């Protein structure tokens, strides 16, 4: 399938990380724990979902959010996830999502067209950021990376995967 077949496995993607990046990725992966909320919705997905993730091993937001996507995708064999770096694929990322931010998760149809997109932060965090003074934006992002908004990450990724009540809003820092 066009676009999706270009992607690599998670382990191939991780092989691009240096030792320091790998340490951050491993720490954030261990930190991310699923809460037993709405997981049955994922298990009941019957259609194949092809998720193409754009990221960079150095991106702490990607390292925070990707583990949730991977853990949630393990709950249903119909969800397949592949990875591309933004570096070298920026034009494709922009073509498919309209932006060049990472992490970007895209659900692609059988022709490689974007069905839904999840870009940079979960909507709950975006809404907090939009209502936060500019000087405090980085504090919110840092708190997300420390696990304060893990529930918002999981909830939004579930909505993204199921399509149920999912919406996307653009956010610019």
Predicted local confidence at residue 37, as pLDDT: 84
Tell me if 67 is assigned to some domain: yes
Tell me if 173 is assigned to some domain: no
Predicted local confidence at residue 45, as pLDDT: 95
Q: Which residue has the tokens 């699923």?
A: 34
Both structure tokens of 149: 């908004």
Tell me if 172 is assigned to some domain: no
Residue 27 maps to which CATH number?
Answer: 3.40.30.10
Predicted local confidence at residue 5, as pLDDT: 83
Tell me if 85 is assigned to some domain: yes
Predicted local confidence at residue 173, as pLDDT: 64
pLDDT of 78-97, one tens digit each?
999 999 999 999 999 999 99
- Which residues have CB under 8 Å from 142's CB, separation 6+? none
Q: With a cut of 50, list the residues of the chain below it in pLDDT.
A: none
Q: Residue 89: which domain range?
A: 2-162
Tell me if 125 is assigned to some domain: yes
Tell me if 64 is assigned to some domain: yes
Q: Domain count of the chain? A: 1
pLDDT of 39-63, one tens digit each?
999 999 999 999 999 999 999 999 9
Tell me if 146 is assigned to some domain: yes
Tell me if 25 is assigned to some domain: yes
């Amino acid at each position: 399938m066009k676009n999706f077949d270009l992607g690599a496995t998670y382990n191939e993607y991780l092989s691009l990380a240096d030792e320091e990046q790998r340490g951050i990725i491993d720490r954030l992966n261990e930190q991310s724990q699923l809460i037993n909320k709405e997981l049955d919705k994922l298990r009941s997905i019957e259609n194949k979902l092809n998720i193409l993730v754009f990221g960079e091993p150095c991106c702490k937001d990607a390292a925070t959010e990707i583990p949730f996507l991977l853990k949630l995708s393990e709950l249903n064999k119909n969800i397949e996830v592949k990875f591309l770096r933004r570096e070298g694929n920026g034009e494709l990322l922009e073509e498919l999502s309209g932006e060049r931010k990472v992490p970007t998760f895209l659900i692609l149809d059988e022709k490689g067209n974007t069905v839904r997109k999840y870009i940079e932060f979960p909507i709950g965090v975006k809404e907090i950021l939009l209502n936060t003074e500019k000087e405090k934006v980085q504090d919110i992002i840092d708190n997300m990376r420390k696990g304060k908004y893990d529930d918002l990450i999981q909830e939004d990724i579930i909505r993204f995967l199921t399509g149920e009540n999912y919406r996307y809003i653009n956010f610019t820092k």
